[in-house]
Amino acid sequence: MSIGQLIDTAMTEAQKEADKYTFPVFISDEKSKPVLVASSVIISLNNKHYLVTASHVLLEILPTGSPFIIGSQGQYFTIEGEFIYSEHDKNDHFDIAYIELSKEFMEVNKLPSLSQGQLITESYIRPPHIAFIHGYPNSINKQGKALRNTSSFKVRGYAYGGVIKKDFGNWEKFNKLESVHTCMTYGKTSNNQTPKFPQGISGGGLWIIKNSFKPTPIFLESIFIEYYKNDAVTFSTKISKIVSFIAHTKQNA
């Protein structure tokens, strides 16, 4: 098996795994039909379950008056309760929102949750074998095809394998912090193919494969928040900082 074939096989397996824990986010339009707007990930932390997405996603939904809806296995589920979120404005680049989901809600709706052991909460020196961003971009999930009716849907997840830029040195230009964010390439691939436009991936994960010969389990490194087309880079908020954010806000609630 060539290196290219090995990577393709690993990515195929890893994407199936990411699909389990990544959930498309919908809102209801004026005709009460769901509209795909973003992505989210459900994680386990200290025996509790949290749905995590980008703060700007939540702040775009709130003014519409629509409930926050996720999809799983072709069905819609309304997330009820109050989100905790960072204030996403010109001074906030943390851009994270979360809500705790009850065990009953998880069990009744048969929603899987990423185990705490698959969260990258410590820094690493050696780059992973493979890193990829995963979510539900609008560009491959056209509304007419994705939404069969108001009670079921069909969408496709998308994964883009890039390079985590450990040597990135232009953090100030993008108002980001190396200690908080991860920068990854997002441009033409080695075979000169242009990746899908990532609108809709916000709130999805940046995942890593530690060993290409054993692609699963995969590990969540960060949550995708921003894309800069002209610079061909993306930024994600590190899961280690998100874990700290959850712990801090829960303690002070």
Backbone region of residue 108 per phi and psi (left: phi > 0; alpha: psi in -120 to 50; beta: other values) = alpha
pLDDT of residue 32: 67
Q: What is the pLDDT of residues 79-138, one digit of tens each?
A: 999 999 997 555 668 999 999 999 999 999 999 999 999 999 988 767 777 999 999 998
Q: What is the pLDDT of residues 26-80, one digit of tens each?
A: 998 766 678 899 999 999 999 999 999 999 999 999 999 999 999 998 899 999 9
- How confident is the model over 184-209, as a mean pLDDT? 86
- Cβ-defined contacts of 188-196 (< 8 Å, 24+): 188/232, 189/161, 195/160, 196/137, 196/139, 196/140, 196/158, 196/160
pLDDT of residue 174: 94
Q: What is the pLDDT of residues 217-232, one digit of tens each?
A: 999 999 999 999 999 9
Using a 10 angstrom Cβ sphere, with 0-12 exposed, 13-18 middle and 19 or more buried, the burial of residue 219 is buried
Is the distance from CB of 52 to CB of 97 less than 8 angstroms?
Answer: yes
Going by pLDDT thresholds of 50, 70 and 90, the confidence category of residue 165 is very high
d(CA 236, CA 164): 11
- The fold of the 3-251 domain, in CATH, is Thrombin, subunit H (2.40.10)
What predicted TM-score, i.e. pTM, was given to this entire model?
0.92
d(CA 148, CA 140): 15
